[in-house]
A and B are shown apart, each in its own frame.
Chain A
Amino acid sequence: MTAFLRNTWRGLTSMRTALTLLFLLALAAMPGALLPQLSLNAAKVDEYVAEHGWWGELLLKLGFFEVYATPWFAAIYLLLFTSLVGCLLPRTWEYFKQMRAKPVLTPRNLSRMPHHVQAELDVTPEEAVARAKKAMRGWRMDTGEGTVSAERGYLRETGNLVFHFALLGLLVSFALGKMFSYEGQVIVQADGGQFCNGGIFNYDSFRPGLRVDGTDLTPFCVEIGDFSAEYLENGQPVGYRADIRYQAGEDLATNTWKPYDLRVNHPLRTGGDRLYLLGHGYTPTFTVTFPNGEKRTQGIQWLPTDQVTLASEGATKFDPPGVTDSETRRKNQIAVTGLLAPTPLLHGNILNSKYPALNNPMVAVDVYRGDLGVDDGRGQSIFSIDRQMVDQGRLQKVARKNLALGEEIALDDGTKVRFDAVNDWVSLQVSHDPTQGYVLVFAILIILGLGVSLTVKRRRVWVRATARDDGRTLVEVGGLARTDQAGYGEEFTRLARAVLNEEKS
């Protein structure tokens, strides 16, 4: 049994196994780049599964759409992890032993070494040894009877161990990060809209780590002031910025606001949380004047359907005011849907957008009246109306018109819908990852360790001085690079020249 365990452990920690595991890791990671992933785009996964029938279903069951969360991916990297630890422990032990060891004795036959030079000099063996010691200053040396053995490049192993331990550290921090991090997205109206990191219900979408339940978020609040975007003539965006105010920590108690210039690539960092400006869009405001004279004004974000021209679609929904009977109220709801063009381009009556900035924006609206279906318990998109209600005839299109700012459309029952204004909205992301600082530190150690271990060479030099009968001394220099031989030749030649002092036989 112990033999079995020992053999398994040896097998697992052998370089061959490590190589195989590395290949498996590479292979297993690939589907994540080739197939749509749930974490990146769930809609695309649904589409893929629907398109590929049983094959899609099989891939879904095997976890190919969430590769990095599957047991088989975890199995590979945990095995690799174990293999790495198993390899590192004995090496570290070996490393500390070697740090105190003396360079190996001079071999009998130096001419067998890959690098070897010899010469007869007019010096005593003692002088030759002294000269060799001088030439090899900085090397770890050991002198014997008429010989010097020297070794250098211990940093290589140091770098190697630093790299591998840093890799372990990075993986552990990364894994811990997945436990305690969260990411939430929310759309906030510019020109005064506020958002507070009080709980997950303040978000439009929230992705918690495995150990985050959303009850313990660091509180902070932001208020979006002015949003501005700059575009090139062809509509390509040049820059977005939002002037925001925020309060965090003690400022919450004293209600103090601090200003911040939030831009792409320039997130707000506050108390372990980061706030990002991800994108923006437009919010049209409509005022509905009901037959009884009451007015309701609403503005809600519409969704950009063209990322270049920011032509946006959406649905702004109204409840009739002052109706106490829920049945009547439900059947007389109004939705203003259609297309918003920030810079209108009209082909006859067909509206489109030709530029993303606001220049006399227009909307092409379809006004619906009836039961929006918002009360039936099913969730519905804020960007569209429930098509089922239209198909069932419970929601009817009652008007269609292109409206410029300030223009209005009159319905058959005297209701009027006016297009008042267009404002900006911004989409924000709050990210929290308590371990990313450690990840960065380990990443830097990885680069350092790697650089050192791949550039420093472990190499040895031996010198032997033997007195000849004629009073001269035969000095032999031998060299061996313990790792990669390449590039050692030049250094060896230089050393040998110094030892032999150009006095060749």
Chain B
Amino acid sequence: MPVDETLATYSDWLYRSALGVYLFAILLYAVEQAFSRAPRKAEALVGAGAPGVLADEPKSAPTRSERIGRMGAAMTVLGALLHLGSLVMRGLSAGRAPWGNMYEYMSLLCLAAVVTWIVLMAKFPIRRLGVFVLPPILILLFLGGTVLYAESAPVQPALRSYWLVIHVSVISISSGMLLIPGVTSILYLLKDGNSGRFPKLPSADVLDRMSYRTTVLAFPLFTAGIICGAIWAEAAWGRFWGWDPKETVAFVTWVVYAAYLHARATAGWRGRGAAWINVAGFALNVFNLFFINLVASGLHSYAGL
């Protein structure tokens, strides 16, 4: 199938614009973070499920730094829309699902992370954390757009299957979602044990809850992604599981996140222990993405470099 060069060019432009908009959003978040005061007690309680509150929480007029923070959030949404547009154009130009090489995979992963972040912003009063959450996403996007960039092109025969649509998107989206608890767990580790430290960060409890709720959504999805991969592997490679390096590291990552869920229910592991495990899971995800694709050679070597 021929590649539509015009659409591919539009896709690249949108990608770059999204990067620029994300960068701008980070600056706005940073301004808010720098110029706002530490949250008042009442605000900190809202996340913890304040008892006896039936009425809606009182709203006070936003301060200037809050307005800037809201602009940051709006920019994040705009960036996500441009980002989505870039993926759609990529898919249309190549006439296939736009996650057939590492550049596209990374792009989808980051989009999933940004969307997760936007949802979390709507649910928790944690907007200012954007200054910590967006930079790793931006770095991944930048690496994706430069080092890993691949021209829009059809994929090789082994990838021509509807399982490409299912398996890769599910894995990529769940990995993107898992990026967020990775970052919030790091923040938890910074904050935990000393609520006076980093007064502008939300309480350790809110951070822990954010990590847990996101992980709890992403983990079943990740599991489903691995299983879809196994079903595809059975059709494409002749076995559903063969300890290919990528499969192995995905298995290890799965075990680590399973350990996270257990640790959160085990005395002595709750809190710091669990947070460390979540960070380890995130590190394994990144390792699986870069090292296994670029250095180790296996059946999953579709980096397109």
Which residues of A line the B interface, CB within 8 A? 15-16, 18-19, 22-23, 25-26, 29-30, 32-34, 37, 39-40, 67-68, 114-117, 174, 183, 232, 236-240, 263-267, 274, 276, 278, 429, 431, 433, 436, 439-440, 443-444, 446-447, 450-451, 454-455, 484-489, 493, 496-497, 504
Contact A19 B157 (CB under 8 A): no
Q: Which residues from B are CB-within-8-Å of A240?
A: 157
Q: Residue B296 contacts which of A19, A34, A278, A497 (CB distance < 8 angstroms)?
A: A34
Q: Residue A16 contacts which of B212, B224, B246, B266 (CB distance < 8 angstroms)?
A: B266
**Whole-angstrom distance from the CB of A188 to the nearest CB of chain B?**
16
Contact A439 B238 (CB under 8 A): no
Contact B248 A33 (CB under 8 A): yes
Q: Known contacts A264-B158, A264-B236, A454-B216; is A68 also within 8 Å of B256 by CB? A: no
Which residues of B line the A interface, CB within 8 A? 49, 51-52, 54, 153-154, 156-158, 160-161, 163, 209, 212-213, 216-217, 219-220, 223-224, 227, 230-231, 234-246, 248-249, 251-252, 255-256, 258-259, 261-263, 265-266, 268-269, 292, 296, 298
Contact B52 A33 (CB under 8 A): no
Q: Which residues from A are CB-within-8-Å of B241?
A: 174
Contact B240 A439 (CB under 8 A): yes
Q: Which residues from B are CB-within-8-Å of A496?
A: 54
CB-nearest residue of chain B to A484: B212
CB-nearest residue of chain B to A28: B252
CA distance A232 to B52 in the complex (A): 67
Q: Which residues from B are CB-within-8-Å of A19?
A: 259, 262-263, 266, 269
Contact B239 A433 (CB under 8 A): yes
Q: Residue B51 contacts which of A114, A265, A267, A488 (CB distance < 8 angstroms)?
A: A114
24 A-B pairs, CB-CB below 8 angstroms?
Answer: A16-B268, A22-B258, A22-B259, A25-B255, A29-B248, A33-B249, A33-B292, A40-B243, A115-B51, A236-B154, A240-B157, A263-B157, A264-B236, A265-B158, A265-B160, A265-B235, A446-B227, A447-B223, A447-B224, A451-B220, A454-B219, A486-B209, A486-B212, A487-B213
Q: Known contacts A30-B252, A266-B235; is A68 also within 8 Å of B262 by CB? A: no
Contact A33 B245 (CB under 8 A): yes
CB-nearest residue of chain A to B296: A33
CA distance A278 to B209 in the complex (A): 47
Q: Known contacts A117-B54, A431-B238; is A32 also within 8 Å of B248 by CB? A: yes
Contact A183 B244 (CB under 8 A): no
CA distance A222 to B235 in the complex (A): 19
CA distance A29 to B51 in the complex (A): 46
**Whole-angstrom distance from the CB of B236 to the nearest CB of chain A?**
5
**Whole-angstrom distance from the CB of B33 to the nearest CB of chain A?**
25
**Whole-angstrom distance from the CB of B100 to the nearest CB of chain A?**
12
Contact A115 B251 (CB under 8 A): no
Q: Which residues from A are CB-within-8-Å of B154?
A: 232, 236, 238
Q: Known contacts A454-B216, A484-B212; is A238 also within 8 Å of B252 by CB? A: no
Contact B220 A236 (CB under 8 A): no
CB-nearest residue of chain B to A444: B227
Contact B234 A436 (CB under 8 A): yes
Q: Known contacts A236-B156, A265-B157; is A497 also within 8 Å of B54 by CB? A: yes
CA distance A259 to B49 in the complex (A): 66
Q: Which residues from B are CB-within-8-Å of A484?
A: 212-213, 216
Q: Which residues from A are CB-within-8-Å of B49?
A: 114-115, 485, 488-489
Contacts A22-B256, A33-B249 aside, 13 further interface pairs with beta carbons under 8 A come to: A15-B266, A19-B262, A33-B248, A238-B154, A238-B156, A238-B160, A265-B161, A433-B239, A443-B230, A446-B223, A454-B219, A454-B220, A493-B54
Contact A436 B249 (CB under 8 A): no
Q: Residue A440 contacts which of B231, B239, B269 (CB distance < 8 angstroms)?
A: B231
Q: Which residues from B are CB-within-8-Å of A443?
A: 227, 230
Q: Which residues from A are CB-within-8-Å of B238?
A: 183, 267, 274, 276, 278, 429, 431
Q: Residue A37 contacts which of B223, B243, B258 (CB distance < 8 angstroms)?
A: B243
Contact A15 B158 (CB under 8 A): no
Contact A183 B239 (CB under 8 A): yes
Q: Which residues from A are CB-within-8-Å of B240?
A: 433, 436, 439-440
Q: Which residues from B are CB-within-8-Å of A236?
A: 153-154, 156
CA distance A267 to B231 in the complex (A): 13
Q: Which residues from B are CB-within-8-Å of A451?
A: 220
CA distance A117 to B252 in the complex (A): 45
Top 9 nearest A-B pairs (CB, nearest first) are: A33-B248, A33-B245, A22-B259, A264-B157, A265-B161, A26-B255, A431-B238, A489-B49, A15-B266
Q: Known contacts A443-B230, A454-B220, A504-B54; is A29 also within 8 Å of B157 by CB? A: no
CA distance A161 to B42 in the complex (A): 40
Contact B243 A39 (CB under 8 A): yes
CB-nearest residue of chain A to B1: A238
CB-nearest residue of chain B to A232: B154
Q: Residue B244 contacts which of A26, A40, A174, A440 (CB distance < 8 angstroms)?
A: A40
Q: Which residues from A are CB-within-8-Å of B235?
A: 265-267
CB-nearest residue of chain A to B245: A33
CA distance A239 to B239 in the complex (A): 21
